Amino acid sequence: MVNKDRIREKIQLIKTNVADLRDIARVSERDFVENTILFHAATRMLQISIEAVLDIAQHIVTREQLGTPKTYREVILLLESAGIVPGDQVAALVNMTRFRNRVVHMYDEVSREEVHRIIMKNLSDFDAYLAAIVKFVWGEA
């Protein structure tokens, strides 16, 4: 059985970061690219949020005994196979995982323009994921 309190804490962390990222997204691309602090803050909030997404996923996979994944991608695919995450979310979640890995291991290859583009176009991916998790854990949309 999943630990609802643990999942609730991770969900709140993601929601708080996404709200802050939406505030940052109001800044023009030019101002964002020129502002080192905003770039690093946004990059770190994305990384932490993605790690919280993966923590929730791994927790559910483990507690529900869905399998023994070797990679983050496999964790996502197990959630899809179990009907917890819809198939149309898988690509976005896998892309999140790839971005997180680049931030952690190849941080010098992450451009300011890319981070700005992500906060402008992809924050709704977090919303969709959280809706699927809430539906699974609490039975509500």
Residue 108's pLDDT is 87
Residue 138's pLDDT is 96
pLDDT tens digits for 1-18? Answer: 999 999 999 999 999 999
What domains does the chain contain, in order, with CATH numbers?
4-138 (1.20.120.580)
Helices marked H in the chain — which ranges?
4-24, 29-34, 36-63, 72-81, 87-105, 112-121, 124-138
CB-CB contact of 28 with 88 (8 Å) = no
Residue 107's pLDDT is 87
